[in-house]
Amino acid sequence: MTRIRNFALAVALVPIGIASTACGGESTGTIPSEVAVVKSDAYPDTGAAQAKLAVATVPDLGAIITTGDGKTLYRFDKDTAKPPTSTCDGECAAKWPPVLVPEGAEFAVDGVDKALVSSLKRADGTRQLSISGWPAYTYAQDTGPGDVKGQGVGGTWFGFTAAGKKAIAPEAGSLEVKVMSVAPLGQILTDAAGMTLYRFDKDTANPPKSNCDGDCAAKWPPVLVPEGAAPKLDGADPAALGIVERGDGSRQLTAGGWPLYLFADDKVPCDIKGQGVGGTWFAAKPDGGKATG
């Protein structure tokens, strides 16, 4: 079962094409950590005046859009976005419940193009949440926050990226690490989803060694490199990246010899909430150096 929280995240494997990117650019897929929408029948247990959409990061898929309580939202390739049309009814809708909103609902969004989130009229007269024009659904077999059991089902069901596009698991074989420009730190390393990579002063770089395990690794998930994959870096010295074996035998990405981590409290691309925590955690520069702004 794939969960959002407390995981050691393997960096997504995708074709390399790295470039230095500014935070908030198109490639980051930035969206607020919570986007509020008017409460609907899809949120019967919230007991609140509004339901919320959130962005969470899951292994392989990166940043995806979920309900406020963490349930993954999906799109169906047999639907259409132009015009927005749902083709999932009957037994299909029982397995893939459409996310319904009240007639005339006004969507409250914060820091994202309001056109991204809207609604469409279904054949039965109800209104369904849409993202970038695509009708949005949950999956009946997703039982908890962070489940993505519906991803890729039938080759037609996929989550939404943070930018409202189709979330597709990357191809195996090459490892993407990005160089991003994030104010006020300048250029730093991120994973394929644009999530900040950190280094820990209590580790060592020569020789490379991680001293973050147990509860530490739950809060600071080590960036793991799948067996057989080789980290690569374009736009900076490729020799800066490497791999160190952790105590449990897993392979952790390094930069300049420093083991790299994510931070559990970072929710969307370009978040740097881990910067300076405890005076020991800092975003990693492309050469593995400490980003201090």
Place 21 in a pLDDT band, splitting at 50, 70 and 90: low
| Measured distance CA(229)–CA(207) in Å, rounded | 21
Give the number of other CB atoms < 10 A from CB of residue 286: 23
59-77 pLDDT per residue, tens: 777 778 887 778 899 999 9
Whole-model pTM? Answer: 0.50
94-136 pLDDT per residue, tens: 999 999 888 776 665 544 456 688 889 999 999 998 999 999 9
156, 77 Cβ separation under 8 angstroms: yes
Q: Is the pLDDT of residue 31 over 50?
A: no
DSSP 112: S
The answer on 118 and 198 residing in a single domain is no
Q: Is the pLDDT of residue 29 over 50?
A: no
For the chain, what is the mean pLDDT? 78
| Measured distance CA(89)–CA(125) in Å, rounded | 12
The answer on 176 and 138 residing in a single domain is no
| Measured distance CA(70)–CA(52) in Å, rounded | 10
Percentage of the chain surpassing pLDDT 90?
A: 41
The answer on 151 and 69 residing in a single domain is yes
Q: Locate tokens 């009708």: which residue?
A: 135
- pLDDT at site 98: 95
Least confident of 36-50, 78-92, 98-112, 269-283: 36-50
The answer on 269 and 219 residing in a single domain is yes
The answer on 147 and 183 residing in a single domain is no
Percentage of the chain surpassing pLDDT 70?
A: 74
Q: Identify the domain containing residue 124 by its residue range.
A: 31-159
Where does a domain end: 133, 159, 185? 159
- pLDDT at site 246: 86
- Tell me which residue of 78, 36, 290, 64 sits closest to 185, measured CA to CA: 290
| Region of 230 on the Ramachandran plot (φ > 0 left; ψ -120 to 50 alpha; else beta) | beta
| Measured distance CA(287)–CA(42) in Å, rounded | 47
